[in-house]
Amino acid sequence: MSRALPLEEIPVFDQQHRLPEELTPQEPAVILFDKPAGWSSFKAVKAIRKRLNIKKVGHAGTLDPLATGLLVICVNKATKSISQVQELHKTYRALIRFGASTSSYDAATEIDMEAPFNHIDRNLIEAELAQSFNEEFEQIPPMFSAIKKNGQRLYKLARKGETVERKARKVTIFKTVIHSYDPPDLDLDIECSKGTYIRSIAHDLGINLGSRAYLAGLHRTKIGTFDVRNALQADDLQVAKSS
């Protein structure tokens, strides 16, 4: 059984180091991809598989279809190193909208509750982020998630209107930076550990501030030192081999 390769030993393909026409099954690779809205993470993997005509492809951290940004895709023997990528810090640009909530905690479902938000200002937000979302804390995953309960994905139960008890998980917020607060919209960066649900942060932040909130937009900008600014675009995966 072959060992997992250290990340620093795996070739990285991005805007500077473009994808070759093809890769052999013996060539490991990490591909940085800027996932567009509407694409599932599986669709990105499928596009890479078709583009390079290879079978062994996997991604290191799902992005919801509505989310955009950096997806790290591992190819061939690099798939054994996926866990190394998953352990890296993630950075997101998040748009949190106060005054309403949804059952999925994001814009994928309809608004189910509205609440006042005029009392919320930037100072109040900064104080709550520092108090409740600073360093390590316990987070309850949303029902609309891929976590399994008794063999079933939670999001499948949620779509049936079912709610089950979820065990809190320890996650870490390393840094938050507010770009702007233009009520009801909060635009900020969040650097966090693996397994952190930004949707849950939006939902809980709204409740903690005496209102409601949901995640109106999400863009993953970094995974460790990998940066979305260097990532390949969808058009780069659709180039014909004959071009």
81 touches 74 (CB < 8 A): yes
Q: Tell me if residue 204 is catalytic.
A: no
Mention every residue, 6+ apart, whose C-beta is less than 8 A from residue 182. none
Q: Quick one: 7-87+225-237 is in which CATH superfamily?
A: Pseudouridine synthase (3.30.2350.10)
Taking only the tens place, the pLDDT of each residue in 62-73 is: 898 899 999 999
Taking all residues of the chain, what is their mean pLDDT, rounded to a whole number? 91
Mention every residue, 6+ apart, whose C-beta is less than 8 A from residue 188. 93, 94, 96, 176, 177, 178, 179
In this predicted structure, the answer to whether residue 54 has a pLDDT above a threshold of 50 is: yes
What is this structure's pTM? 0.91
Q: What percent of the chain has pLDDT over 70?
A: 91
The full set of domain ranges for the chain reads 7-87+225-237, 90-223
78 touches 28 (CB < 8 A): yes
Mention every residue, 6+ apart, whose C-beta is less than 8 A from residue 127. none
In this predicted structure, the answer to whether residue 60 has a pLDDT above a threshold of 50 is: yes
The confidence score (pLDDT) of residue 157 equals 67
- Average pLDDT (212-239) is 93
The confidence score (pLDDT) of residue 238 equals 72
DSSP string, 211-229: S-EEEEEEEEEEETTEEGG
In this predicted structure, the answer to whether residue 45 has a pLDDT above a threshold of 70 is: yes
Nearest CA to 69 out of 97, 93, 45 is that of 93
Kindly state the tokens that stand for 243.
């071009």
96 touches 183 (CB < 8 A): no
Separation of alpha carbons 67 and 199, rounded Å: 11
Over the Cα atoms of the chain, what is R_g? 19
- Average pLDDT (200-218) is 97
**Run of H or E residues at 68:** strand 68-75
Q: Give the CATH fold of the 90-223 domain.
A: Pseudouridine synthase (3.30.2350)
The confidence score (pLDDT) of residue 75 equals 95
pLDDT band for 243, please (50, 70, 90 cuts): very low
Taking only the tens place, the pLDDT of each residue in 90-118 is: 999 999 999 999 999 999 999 999 999 99
Taking only the tens place, the pLDDT of each residue in 114-170 is: 999 999 999 999 999 999 998 899 998 777 766 776 677 766 766 767 677 778 889
The confidence score (pLDDT) of residue 242 equals 35
* Catalytic residue, candidates 14, 64, 106, 204: 64
Separation of alpha carbons 224 and 222, rounded Å: 6
More confident residue, 173 or 236: 173
- Average pLDDT (49-67) is 91
Domains 7-87+225-237 and 90-223 share a fold: yes
Mention every residue, 6+ apart, whose C-beta is less than 8 A from residue 183. 98, 117, 118, 120
Backbone angles phi, psi at 88, to 5 degrees: -75, 155
